[in-house]
Chain A
Amino acid sequence: MQAQQVQQFFVRYKIAALLLAVALIWIFFHLGTDGAFVTPRNIANLLRQMSITGLLACGMVFIIIAGEIDLSVGSLLGLLGGVVAIFTVNMQWSTAMAICVTLLVGLGIGMFNGFWVTRMRVPSFIVGLGGMLAFRGILLGVTHSATIAPVPDGLVYLGQGLVPIGLSLILGGVIFLTLLGITVRRRMRRAKLDLKQAPLWMDVAKLVVIGVVIAGFLRMLNDAGGVPVPVMILLAALAIFSYIASQTVFGRHIYAVGGNMEATRLSGVNVSRVKLVVFALMGLMAAFAGIINTARLAAGSPSAGTNGELDAIAACFIGGTSMRGGSGTVHGALIGALVMASLDNGMSLMDVDTFWQMIVKGSILVLAVWVDVLSGSNRG
């Protein structure tokens, strides 16, 4: 009976189970590395490593919820990272201009992929597979298979820089106050419409937990010099994509399209347009990831982003996104990315051989989805 209740709790709050898994992994590595894992410097490092997979996962989770897949994003990340390097290094464009144009190119390529999936009705698996080869080929062609360096400092800041401590404290405060405001407004509005209210203590407890998490996060990273810029960008992406998923008409349509495309179409939703926009957003996120990757390495590399799509897809599935579409969350996918990054980082610290790292990551992916399947099928 006790075990069943615990299980039901985790089925309902998948996220709690995921966080518990992250905590266990962290404890394991912390003990395994004699306390070298959970230190401000390493956590900052780990989050920085995770940010690129995380940005891809933000876009990918929408694609998978909509019932599609995009295998081209690793190559696309590499291509767009190369493009931004060419713009800034070879063509001497200003950093801002290069970034804007690269983002537009990413958006355009994403739409192009979406066009092939929706209008030309080629299965997305095939479109992705084709793009994976073709985009990598274009990258090798335009860079002549050579690393492009050095990129300007302004760009490097996006990958290696730290947010000033004062600014991050202000942002943290603003986020907390916004959440407080939203909660108060929701309670007032629900009272006005005569809807059921969550108990007051629950809302208060939620806010206290969020406050503590924000404070702890800032304290930890500021001890290491500040919040890394890519992490800040990832958090912004998390906020925006979660907002889209849970608050907007478009977000609801993504879930509906993935859940039952035919029923959604007959409800008057333009399903092709929904999918097209989802692919366009994926292209945009690949552009962000590519730019930050180039910034982090301070160079455009022809091999950048290899297997990036697999990490992003694995992150989504570990984070509880359904293979068949129709369900999943952005924060789940990001915690999935955190799991992958923690494994990478922890095993590197422990000096585990690369081949072992690959075996462990592969096994964890299969295990995580297995646990998800188990908990899903046991639902009454």
Chain B
Amino acid sequence: MSDYLFEMHHIVKEFSGVRALNGIDLAVRPGECVGLCGENGAGKSTLMKVLSGVYPYGTWQGEILWEGKPLKAYSVRDSEKAGIVIIHQELMLVPKMSVAENIFLGNEIKKPGGRMDYDAMYRQAEALLARLKLKDVNVAAPVMNYGGGYQQLFEIAKALAKNARLLILDEPSSSLTSSETDVLLSIIEDLKREGVACVYISHKLDEVARVCDTVTVIRDGQHIGTRPMAELSVDKIIAMMVGREITDLYPRVDHPIGEVIFEARHVTCWDTTNPNRKRVDDVSFQLRRGEILGIAGLVGAGRTELVSAIFGAYPGRSEAELLMDGKPIKVKSPEQAIRAGLSLVPEDRKRQGIVPLLGVGDNITLATLEHYSHAGRIDRNAELATVEREITRLRVKTASPALAIVGLSGGNQQKAVLTKMLLPEPRVLILDEPTRGVDVGSKHDIYKLMFELAAKGVSIIMVSSELSEVLGVSDRVLVIGEGRLRGDFVNQGLTQEQVLAAAIDAKPQSSAA
């Protein structure tokens, strides 16, 4: 007789002879929130796929118990019937359908003849949202009218509509602002009190520390430990995850900062759908040799638009005057930008970074194929030599360079994309959220690489939503708010509060000369 709602015992999952999971245990009590932590590639997603029936019963070894009885799920439907619902990292909502239609998608309330019973669905949707303390939502309006924070809560409502008793949240806060995250976490607390069990998967360990009662850590498919949160701290969880103590997450190296090499003047971008709205409004800045320039601001402030416009990749209308070494350069496309000495590592790795079906090596050389070719013909051996050198240098974990990149973990994909954009030997490297969805170990590697590059004289522009990262890495910090430059700080004794105040306050302020 156990008081657990859900137990997994000694789960082993193999992919063509390679053990992705090697004896994982996970157990959740009703009303308990268990944090599942591990680096990218540790096996978290594989474990979740076993749990939710994506990998049907019988394709893995071990045992799953639901209320003490064996659970044999052959598909996601089976596990949902039992009461297990996963909320994925990427929101799975249909933007043009209404809130209520989304909440009951696949689970519609029907009138005779298969007609939709909208009245009942609207009523129940409102009741569900009230449970989540959302009162000002028009359930008949399309989902796309609401922001990311609301949408995440709609996902939870959708799960509750299926009578979820075990909620699995996979990186639920990755696209939320900090206040939206606060709301999400308090709602999880409420759900716990109602007896709903949760598994919370996140790289943001402060959130895990706040909301979880127990933490299970896995590494390389091995079960490292399960302990009550009361006995743990964020540092201890990191140590368990990486298997070594990362004493200094930001391996700062002093590097000389030289003369101004790049300048952007009057960068302005107009919204793609509303031609009167400016997403970036007359932003100018200078960049020195070997300088790391952090760009901070709230989500939607126009940071990504600013750097895309500089790189010639902004989809709508944009204007900018760019100077390299004091001479004007013309950048109307990424092709011209790369030729002018700029490189951009984009924000959305899946959509803009990798070509999923191509091999790791082919991805790495995509921007520099001309380097290994004569008269349009690729010298495959010269290419492979470069690829193998880079894979070793950046510690990209892949069985073979020919393997499709989509099979790699997030951190390793990010390293490959970074390498791709470094091979053209840029003088100005633009990184847009370089460590989003990246594990602690890879993060450390990426920071180290940034400092190495800066020491070699490469100038770096880094857009980041994580203030600790901006302050940990940058030499100088620009703050963007509502498309305007709101602050330009030298990063000496700069605090998160100062940066945040500038991001919210409309008055421009500056500590730099």
Contacts and interface: CB of A to CB of B under 8 A. Distances in A.
Interface of A: 8, 186, 189-190, 193, 195, 247-250, 252-253, 255-256, 259-260, 262-270, 322, 326-327, 380
B337 A268 contact: yes
B373 A249 contact: yes
A4 to B, nearest CB: 9
The range of chain B's interface size is: 35 or more
A250 B376 contact: yes
A58 to B, nearest CB: 18
A266 B308 CA distance: 10
A248 to B, nearest CB: 5
Contact of A249 (B334, B358, B378): B378
A186 B311 CA distance: 39
A195 B381 contact: yes
Contact of A326 (B355, B376, B420): B355
A269 B339 CA distance: 11
A265 B334 contact: yes
A8 B15 CA distance: 12
Interface string B206-234: 00000000000000000000000000000
Contact of A263 (B15, B352, B384): B352
Contact of A268 (B334, B353, B382): B334
B376 A249 contact: yes
B335 A269 contact: yes
B334 A256 contact: no
A-B CB proximity, top 10 nearest: A259-B355, A268-B338, A380-B15, A267-B367, A260-B355, A249-B369, A326-B357, A267-B366, A268-B335, A259-B357
Contacts of B33: none
B385 A193 contact: yes
Q: For chain B, what secondary structure do more than half of its interface residues adopt (helix, strand, loop), or is it mixed?
A: helix
B358 A259 contact: yes
B334 A263 contact: no
A263 to B, nearest CB: 5
B356 interface: yes
A380 B16 contact: yes
Contacts of B420: 267
Contacts of B421: 267
Contacts of A262: 351-352
Given A248-B377, A249-B376, A249-B378, A264 B355 contact: yes
A327 B362 CA distance: 13
Nearest to B417: A263
Contact of B385 (A195, A264, A327): A195
Contact of B366 (A189, A256, A270, A326): A256
Contact of B355 (A186, A190, A247, A263): A263
A193 B194 CA distance: 65
Given A193-B382, A249-B369, A256 B377 contact: no
Contacts of B362: 252, 255-256
Interface in B372-391: 373, 376-378, 380-382, 384-385, 388
Given A193-B385, A195-B385, A252-B369, A263 B351 contact: yes
Given A266-B313, A268-B367, A270-B333, A260 B373 contact: no
B346 interface: yes
7 contacts: A193-B382, A248-B373, A249-B373, A263-B346, A263-B355, A263-B366, A327-B357
Given A247-B377, A260-B354, A268-B339, 16 more contacts: A8-B16, A193-B385, A195-B381, A248-B378, A255-B357, A260-B352, A260-B355, A263-B355, A264-B355, A265-B334, A266-B311, A266-B313, A267-B366, A267-B367, A269-B366, A326-B355
The main secondary structure of chain A at its interface with chain B is helix
B182 to A, nearest CB: 33
B335 A249 contact: no
B344 interface: yes
A176 to B, nearest CB: 22
B352 A255 contact: no
Nearest to B338: A268
Interface in B105-163: none
Interface string B339-351: 1000010100001
Contacts of B357: 255, 259, 322, 326-327
B317 to A, nearest CB: 16
A266 B373 contact: no
A263 B346 CA distance: 9
B381 A193 contact: yes
Contacts of A248: 373, 376-378
Contacts of B335: 268-270
Contacts of A380: 15-16
A23 B167 CA distance: 52
B370 interface: yes
Contacts of A195: 381, 384-385, 388
A110 to B, nearest CB: 19
Nearest to B344: A266
Given A250-B376, A252-B362, A263 B354 contact: yes
A50 B353 CA distance: 40
Query: Looking at B354, B362, B366, which has the most chain A CB atoms within 10 Å of its CB?
Result: B366
A256 B376 contact: no
Contacts of B369: 249, 252-253
Given A249-B373, A266-B313, A266-B346, A190 B381 contact: yes
B424 interface: yes
B355 A256 contact: yes
A266 B337 CA distance: 10
Interface in B1-23: 15-16
Contacts of A267: 334, 338, 366-367, 420-421
Contacts of A327: 357
B358 A256 contact: yes
A260 B356 contact: yes
Contacts of B313: 265-266
**Max count, chain B CB within 10 A of own CB: residue among A8, A267, A327:** A267
Contacts of A270: 333, 335
Contacts of B367: 267-269
A202 to B, nearest CB: 16
